[in-house]
């Protein structure tokens, strides 16, 4: 049975529009803010290596599956799962996969928006020259001052939520393409400038070694599965925007003629390159200025401004860097809200504007929890061998990226490779029925699900309990 639906929300104008938008979704705070601090907390080179493995073996095949489901269903992830399950004669409960994604999207956006708010604040701080010749102590105190003031955090969080709601309310296809086309390459070039600066610092080689050479001694202190594999897997999902429907809804606007595999590789390569460049730019600065690599979510906001304060035209570059980071965060934030908004439009018969406003209110209110996590409500706990100091923010972050996204991805893999008929996937994926298709099917059928399950079970210590591992 050949199925060719069209989406009531429209279609991308070209394959490149899709690649740019999906890259815009993937590249964001996850690459430049989250990746470096997780590397710092979870053991440097070993974490990076495992992360890359997760991207290639689990991330890319699941991303292809998720785009494929989106394109076949052509509706919000919840309704897509309902329709596809019906077509394949499966349980209607598959729609819960869509619901979990919407919930994860709300939670992620709620704190993502607070961190994007820091970026907004830093545009003005760097632009005003506050960091000229600043040392580590000054940079730290400027950061601490910002996050200990809930009023400021709330103001910036509100700005970012509004920015996101405005774009989503106008339809994600208008303007996104133009924005991403210029801003992503600009961000890329600026990261290269930062890498250039990092090369001039004393500890450049130390930074590189930290990032790329697994430190066996540190590794011995860690529990491989819970402290390295699980956070790396979570980061792969988070960074590639998979497991919650964002890439599925973008796939639903993709033309039937476009190659899903080519697109996925392009997106994953861009995403991974940006993360690695961010790491190369940051760690030499961290070591040169005696900062703590395991400094947590403040890492880039403390380390990079010191570099801007030292380099020629640093005020200009610093300001520009945070502007571009803001755009990267913006294009990701948009995709976090889109699955919920499309569902509201489809099911509640309200306009896109109303739906966006409603969804925006939900994440804004939820964001208040994160705002307070950095000050009045702060408490600490240990997770994955790292001390987490920001209570509910860390809980939200761990719950979504380490549990909900991998679980969502696991279900996508099971649905695409075990539940859907082979004919449907051959037809939709457009890879033909040869070696490439079989490689993909093997990866989503076996490698990705077993990878996620083994990592989950090990991380919760189930295997240990059963006596499988020491
Ligand atoms: N991938 C985005 C980033 O790296 C975050 C994101 C996660 C966006 C999940 C959409 C869905 O910043």
What is the chain's percent helix, strand, coil content, to nearest 5? 75, 0, 20
Length of the chain measured in residues: 470
Q: Is residue 3 part of a domain?
A: no
Q: Is residue 253 part of a domain?
A: yes
For the Cβ of 336 lying below 6 angstroms from any atom of ligand 1, the answer is: yes
- Binning pLDDT at 50, 70 and 90, where does residue 222 land? confident
- The Cα–Cα gap between 468 and 452 comes to 17
Contact 343, 352 (CB under 8 A): no
Which residues, 6+ apart, have CB-to-CB distance to 423 below 8 Å?
Answer: none
Tell how far the Cα of 137 is from the centroid of ligand 1, in angstroms: 31
Tell how far the Cα of 381 is from the centroid of ligand 1, in angstroms: 25
Residue nearest to atom 10 of ligand 1 (CA): 241
Task: Please choose, from the candidates 44, 54, 39, 35, the residue with its C-alpha nearest in 3D space to the C-alpha of residue 214.
Answer: 44
For the Cβ of 400 lying below 6 angstroms from any atom of ligand 1, the answer is: no
pTM of the model: 0.95
Q: Is residue 6 part of a domain?
A: no
pLDDT, mean of residues 351-380? 97
Q: Quick: pLDDT tens for 37-47.
A: 999 998 899 99
For the Cβ of 238 lying below 6 angstroms from any atom of ligand 1, the answer is: yes
Tell how far the Cα of 268 is from the centroid of ligand 1, in angstroms: 12
pLDDT, mean of residues 208-212? 96
pLDDT, mean of residues 446-460? 90
- The Cα–Cα gap between 11 and 30 comes to 27
For residue 132, pLDDT over 90 is answered with: yes
Q: Is residue 7 part of a domain?
A: no
Tell how far the Cα of 323 is from the centroid of ligand 1, in angstroms: 18
- Residue 200 vs residues 128, 206, 278: alpha-carbon distances, Å: 25, 12, 16
The confidence score (pLDDT) of residue 66 equals 98
- Binning pLDDT at 50, 70 and 90, where does residue 470 land? low
- Domain containing 84 equals 15-466
For the Cβ of 239 lying below 6 angstroms from any atom of ligand 1, the answer is: yes
Contact 337, 359 (CB under 8 A): yes
Contact 104, 408 (CB under 8 A): yes
For the Cβ of 26 lying below 6 angstroms from any atom of ligand 1, the answer is: yes
Q: Quick: pLDDT tens for 67-124.
A: 999 999 999 999 999 999 999 999 999 999 999 999 999 999 999 999 999 999 999 9
Q: Quick: pLDDT tens for 155-199.
A: 999 999 999 999 999 887 776 777 778 888 888 999 999 999 999
For residue 262, pLDDT over 70 is answered with: yes
Q: Is residue 10 part of a domain?
A: no
pLDDT, mean of residues 371-399? 94
Least confident of 428-432, 458-462, 465-469: 465-469
Tell how far the Cα of 273 is from the centroid of ligand 1, in angstroms: 15
The confidence score (pLDDT) of residue 458 equals 82
- The Cα–Cα gap between 295 and 178 comes to 36
- Return the number of other C-beta atoms located less than 10 Å from residue 349's C-beta: 8
The rounded mean pLDDT for the chain is 93
Strand partners, 383: 386
Q: Is residue 4 part of a domain?
A: no
The confidence score (pLDDT) of residue 2 equals 61
Whichever domain contains 179, its CATH number is 1.20.1740.10
Q: Quick: pLDDT tens for 403-427.
A: 999 999 999 999 999 999 999 999 9
Q: Is residue 270 part of a domain?
A: yes
Tell how far the Cα of 3 is from the centroid of ligand 1, in angstroms: 30
- The Cα–Cα gap between 96 and 354 comes to 24
Q: Is residue 369 part of a domain?
A: yes
Q: How many domains does the chain have?
A: 1
Residue nearest to atom 9 of ligand 1 (CA): 241
């Amino acid at each position: 049975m050949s199925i060719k639906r069209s989406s009531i929300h429209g279609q991308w104008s070209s394959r490149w529009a899709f690649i740019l938008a999906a890259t815009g979704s993937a590249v964001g705070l996850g690459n430049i803010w989250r990746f470096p601090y997780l590397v710092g907390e979870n053991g440097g080179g070993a974490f990076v290596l495992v992360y890359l493995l997760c991207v290639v073996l689990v991330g890319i095949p699941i991303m292809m599956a998720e785009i494929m489901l989106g394109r076949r269903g052509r509706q919000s992830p919840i309704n897509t799962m309902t329709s596809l399950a019906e077509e394949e004669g499966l349980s209607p409960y598959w729609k819960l996969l869509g619901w979990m994604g919407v919930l994860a999207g709300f939670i992620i956006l709620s704190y993502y928006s607070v961190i994007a708010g820091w970026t907004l604040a830093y545009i003005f701080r760097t632009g005003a020259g506050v960091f000229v010749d600043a040392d580590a102590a000054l940079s730290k105190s400027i950061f601490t001052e910002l996050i200990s003031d809930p009023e400021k955090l709330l103001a910036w969080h509100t700005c970012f939520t509004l920015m996101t709601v405005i774009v989503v309310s106008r339809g994600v296809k208008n303007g996104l393409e133009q924005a991403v086309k210029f801003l992503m390459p600009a961000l890329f070039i600026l990261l290269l400038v930062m890498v250039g600066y990092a090369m001039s610092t004393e500890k450049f080689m130390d930074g590189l070694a930290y990032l790329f050479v697994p430190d066996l001694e540190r590794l011995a202190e860690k529990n491989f599965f819970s402290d390295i594999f699980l956070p790396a897997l979570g980061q792969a999902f988070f960074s590639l925007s998979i497991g919650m429907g964002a890439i599925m809804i973008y796939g639903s606007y993709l033309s039937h003629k476009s190659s899903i595999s080519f697109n996925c590789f392009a997106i994953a390569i861009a995403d991974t390159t940006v993360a690695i460049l961010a790491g190369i730019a940051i760690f030499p600065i961290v070591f040169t200025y005696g900062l703590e690599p395991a400094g947590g979510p403040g890492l880039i906001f403390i380390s990079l401004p010191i570099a801007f304060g030292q380099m020629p035209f640093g005020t200009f570059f610093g300001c520009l860097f945070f502007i571009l980071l803001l755009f990267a965060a913006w294009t990701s934030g948009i995709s976090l809200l889109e699955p919920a908004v499309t569902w509201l439009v489809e099911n509640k018969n309200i306009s896109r504007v109303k739906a966006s406003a409603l969804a925006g209110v939900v994440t804004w209110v939820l964001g208040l929890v994160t705002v307070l996590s950095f000050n009045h409500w702060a408490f600490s706990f240990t997770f994955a061998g790292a001390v987490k100091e920001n209570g509910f923010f860390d809980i939200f972050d761990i719950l979504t990226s380490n549990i909900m996204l991998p679980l969502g991805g696991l279900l996508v893999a099971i649905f695409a490779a075990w539940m859907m008929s082979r004919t449907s996937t051959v037809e939709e994926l457009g890879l033909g029925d040869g070696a490439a298709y079989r490689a993909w099917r093997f990866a989503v059928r076996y490698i990705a699900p077993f990878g996620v399950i083994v990592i989950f079970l090990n991380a919760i210590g189930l295997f240990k309990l059963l006596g499988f591992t020491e």
